[in-house]
Amino acid sequence: MHLILNNIYVSRMTFNKNSKDARIALISPRAVASKNMIRRVQPPLGLCCIAAGLRENGFKNLMIYDTLIEDYNDVRSLKSGDGMITYGASGEKIIEKMNDFKPDIVGVSSLFSSQVSQAYEVARAIKKYNKETIVVFGGIHASDKPEEVLNDEKCVDFVMRGEGDYTWSTFVEKIFENKNNLKDVPGLVQRKGKEFLKNPMAPLIHDMDALPIPAWDLVPMEKYFEIAMYHNPYVKSGRVGCIMTSRGCPDRCYFCSSTVFFGHKFRQMSPERVGEMVDYLVEKFQIKELQIEDDNFAVNPIRVNKICDRIKHHKLRVTMPNAMRADTPLNRDKRLEMFKNMREAGWDQIGLGVECGDPEFLNDVIGKRLDLDEVVATCDLAHQAGLLVHTNFMMGFPFETKKTRDRTINFAMNLDSDSYSLSLATPLPGTKMWDIVEKNNLFHESYNFDTGLPTLVSIKPHDIKDVELKTLVENTNKKLNYKASQKKQAVRDKYKLLKSSVHGDRKYMDPSSASIEIDKEIIPMSKVLSNEGTHGTENRGAARPEIVNKNKS
Ligand code: B12
Ligand code: SF4
């Protein structure tokens, strides 16, 4: 017998048991990348948080299936974009797994918008396995575009918006009560005829210390250790633990979608709780490195100092793949003290979010509120403390002009940073920049969610051809990193940490050996730079010193 539950049929047979016996699978879909991107893979923190919340509420039949780790080497080309790939376990493998586990409910997370087509594949596989299994989508993308998700993929039954740490238990309990009334499930979105019923969201979680330790034991940690292609792939040991010690960021960068989801209030774990999370990872998994995934880890420098004190006895190598602000704390002496503490606690590098070298664009358009002098000062302070500095920049913002690009390149070229990432700006749903792009019809014709990656042009450029912009970004990246690598052995040593064997043809290598290809001719970076100096910038990538010289003679 079936009863109708808001357009979906839920079998009484399935649900004639106690809700605590529910069989719940949480799945992380295949990822999408461009061919020359590193294929990163790390334990899915969000799903481990949800599983921990469920377990704390008495649910015990839980499975996390991360397709990326289950079949990391199943790499396929993607039709929707040239040079694009997708990797991870196939739909058939998922069905096989579901046949073993027999879930009642499946939660699918699409952490990135660029993953959503793959998340739909998961939904279709689940319904192929059993059309009565309930499929729920959540995570950043689905939270921002719930109607679109439900319209685009009929195999998705519900979207649950917002942080899922506690809302999942309510959802499973309510759906098992069979009340045909899910109005009390925070953030739930469901179809109602041609309309959508959208429940109010749960308040953001403020007591971060109350969150249980993520259910790392439900994922194959040893496999992640073996592949060792984490957010920061330059690892000394593969035994890496990833944690997030805060959520939310007080800043308002107009391109950032983290704050759309996690808000502007900085919600922090106490140093003691961070210490407990790290103790657990060391004791249970013998981690040797820690990657801190916070969006803006140093918002509270006093907390940073205390965390350093609390974890330094573990003698871990600590990295922080996301950038921190360059002006925290504002007092430079205190900043130096914080960097020294970080160094002592195991950090060997910090990352800074600079974004753009044009102060007006940076502050008036991007909304970063950052004095670029502080970036220069922070590089010096970090070096004094014995830390390397990685800086992050972007190009290709809507309506950006040559002047802004030139200023970014000149600022970056003259900065004493030890490595750089210069990315193409990518519109992310929910952000102010997305709205600007949408309103002004600036999506590049090749743009779709799959191709919304920072190695591709997603926004129609204003005063430069798209191919030229892409080349400029790629070549400037190489130049910046080449320049930096010439200065310090420590920087060259860092590149040696990347496992080259895993990726075969991937182009991540020591930038000292980088070159630029022009008209099918390979020009080594040393020649490119020695001929260019660091001033003229536009078309730097296309400058071909030998040809220029030949033409002159
Ligand atoms: C770590 C990280 C990565 C890691 C891997 C993450 C992993 N597998 O765990 C790596 C390095 C691979 C990565 C890559 C990229 N990333 Co990233 N990444 C992050 C980061 C810093 C942390 C993610 C995290 O663990 N969050 C903490 C957990 C607790 O949150 P969560 O996963 O969202 O889960 C919660 C909720 O979403 C919800 N939930 C999650 N899943 C589900 C499922 C269901 C069913 C339900 C109901 C609820 C639910 O409950 C969870 C607990 O509260 C975020 C920033 C951020 N603050 O989240 C960016 C972020 C997710 N990344 C982002 C982007 C853009 C990228 C890249 C495209 C960028 C790039 N430079 O290449 C690539 C994409 C790579 C690819 N191949 O597709 C954007 C995504 C925005 C978007 N809409 O696409 C973010 C938000 C950063 C930002 N500033 O905007 N990233
Ligand atoms: S500082 Fe980082 S996390 Fe905060 S709004 Fe800017 S990009 Fe987002």
| Dist. CA 264 → ligand 2 center (Å) | 9
Residue 353: its pLDDT value, please? Answer: 96
Q: Does ligand 1 have an atom closer than 6 angstroms to the CB of 212?
A: no
Query: What is the separation, in whole angstroms, between the first and last Cα of the chain?
Result: 88
Q: What is the pLDDT of residue 499?
A: 66
pTM, to two decimals: 0.91
What dihedral angle (degrees, nearest 10) is formed by the CA atoms of 490, 375, 384, 478? 10
The domain limits of the chain are 2-198, 228-548
Distant-in-sequence, close-in-space partners of 529: CB < 8 Å, separation ≥ 6:
479, 482, 483
- Whether ligand 1 lies within 6 angstroms of the CB of 139 is answered as yes
The CB of 296 under 6 Å from ligand 2? The reply is yes
What was the pLDDT predicted at 209?
98
Calculate the alpha carbon distances from 138 to 124, 142, 161, 454, 463 in Å: 16, 5, 6, 23, 38
What is the pLDDT, as a whole number, of residue 528? 65
Q: What's the pLDDT score for residue 494? A: 78
* Mutation choice for ligand 2 from 255, 258, 368, CB with most ligand atoms inside 8 A: 258
- CATH homologous superfamily of 228-548 equals tm_1862 like domain (3.80.30.20)
Q: Which CATH number fits domain 2-198: 3.40.50.300, 3.40.1280.10, 3.50.30.50, 3.40.50.280?
A: 3.40.50.280
Cβ of 453 less than 6 Å from ligand 1: yes
C-alpha angle 538/542/546, rounded to 5°?
Answer: 120
Contact between residue 316 and residue 329 where contact means Cβ atoms under 8 Å apart: no
CA-to-CA separations, 520 to 318, 472, 523, 546, in angstroms, rounded: 41, 17, 10, 14
Distance CA 378, CA 380 (A): 5
CB of 36 closer than 8 Å to CB of 455: yes
Asked if residue 24 has its Cβ within 6 Å of ligand 2, the reply is no
Ligand number nearest to the C-alpha of 142: 1
Residues of the chain with pLDDT under 70: 1-16, 81, 178-180, 499-513, 518-520, 528-553
| 75-133: pLDDT as tens digits | 999 877 678 899 999 999 999 999 999 999 999 998 888 899 999 999 999 999 999 99
Distance (Å, whole) CA 540 – CA 473: 10
* CA atoms within 13 Å, Cβ hemisphere of 347: 27
328 lines ligand 2 (CB under 6 A): no
**Cα(152)–Cα(79) distance, integer angstroms:** 18
Distance 46 CA to ligand 1 centre (A): 8
79 phi/psi in degrees, rounded to 5: -70, -35
Give me the pLDDT at residue 463, please: 93
**474 CB near ligand 1 (under 6 Å):** no
Best residue for ligand 1 mutational test, from 36, 70, 113, 140 (most atoms within 8 Å of Cβ)? 140
**Hunting for tokens 């294929």 — which residue is that?**
39
